């Protein structure tokens, strides 16, 4: 691996870790940055390094995950309800992902123009939702029911379009279904675990035959860098969202998307 490729992989890993849990579309940022750098990376790279960020959530929230696992074996109602909600929210992405995999890989994941457009549209949608939100009815992830979880899971499927943002879709979906900001963000983080593990595993299964040693090395480095960067920002992200809401991210999306579209027009 040459020095430029190594630095590119590190930069992409840092960007992934910083943006994975913010409603700004980490995948969209990675697609644009990869295009701008002009680096040749494996097809599975952009998805696989997201698993590093997801592992950071497991580390930061390990106690909640451990308590839930123990609670399930003990038959605790709260642990079972939380687990069922995660499963229900996860299933729509499984169905849509399996059916639309080839289209997503061949068309959507290679389109910076799609990213620029959806960043802008997503930012506008967030601003509208922020202004029209009613008083939240649910103030803890433990207070959710399966219908709310299913609704969030359906909304999550929109994030298969680059630039929409998985975190953004699930968080704003949670707000739309009556969750307060903190549980909406936390449930989005927890839902990312099964969603991204499944997406990464399936993508590696489909593309492993073409993976070289250099490609595997790039994935490993990007994975590690994304893990460190995400571990540093997860709790800070929840705190910032509680204090400032989502409008700052919406304006960022509109500005970033506009810049991407201008860049593409001038190339």
Cα distances from 267 to residues 26, 34, 35, 36, 80, in angstroms, run 23, 15, 12, 11, 53
Contact 173, 151 (CB under 8 A): yes
Enumerate residue ranges in the chain where pLDDT < 70: 1, 43, 101, 104-110, 207-214
Q: What is the distance between the alpha carbons of residues 239 and 243, in angstroms, rounded to a whole number?
A: 6
Using DSSP's 3-state secondary structure scheme, residue 71 falls into helix
Q: What is the distance between the alpha carbons of residues 64 and 31, in angstroms, rounded to a whole number?
A: 33
Joined together, the tokens standing for residue 19 give 């943006």
Closest to 205 measured CA to CA, from 101, 86, 104, 89: 101
Query: What's the pTM?
Result: 0.83
Q: What is the distance between the alpha carbons of residues 109 and 91, in angstroms, rounded to a whole number?
A: 22
What pLDDT is stored for residue 70 in this prediction? 93
């Amino acid at each position: 691996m040459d020095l430029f490729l190594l630095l590119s992989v590190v930069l992409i890993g840092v960007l992934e870790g910083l943006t994975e849990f913010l409603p700004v579309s980490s995948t969209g940022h990675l697609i644009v940055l990869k295009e701008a750098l002009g680096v040749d990376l494996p097809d599975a790279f952009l998805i696989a390094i997201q698993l590093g960020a997801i592992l950071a959530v497991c580390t930061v929230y390990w106690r909640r995950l451990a308590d839930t696992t123990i609670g399930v074996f003990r038959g605790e109602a709260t642990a079972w309800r939380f687990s069922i909600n995660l499963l229900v929210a996860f299933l729509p992405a499984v169905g849509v992902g399996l059916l639309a995999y080839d289209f997503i890989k061949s068309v959507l994941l290679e389109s910076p123009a799609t990213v620029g457009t959806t960043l802008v549209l997503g930012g506008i949608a967030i601003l509208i939702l922020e202004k029209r939100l009613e008083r939240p009815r649910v103030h803890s992830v433990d207070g959710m029911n399966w219908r709310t979880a299913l609704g969030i899971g359906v909304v999550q499927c929109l994030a298969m379009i680059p630039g929409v943002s998985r975190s953004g879709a699930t968080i704003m979906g949670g707000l739309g279904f009556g969750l307060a900001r903190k549980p909406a963000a936390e449930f989005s983080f927890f839902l990312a675990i099964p969603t991204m593990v499944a997406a990464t595993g399936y993508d590696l299964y489909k593309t492993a035959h073409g993976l070289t040693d250099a490609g595997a090395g790039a994935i490993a480095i990007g994975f590690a860098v994304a893990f460190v960067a995400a571990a540093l920002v997860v709790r800070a992200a929840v705190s910032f969202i509680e204090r400032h809401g989502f409008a700052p991210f919406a304006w960022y999306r509109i500005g970033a998307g506009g810049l991407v579209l201008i860049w593409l027009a001038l190339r």
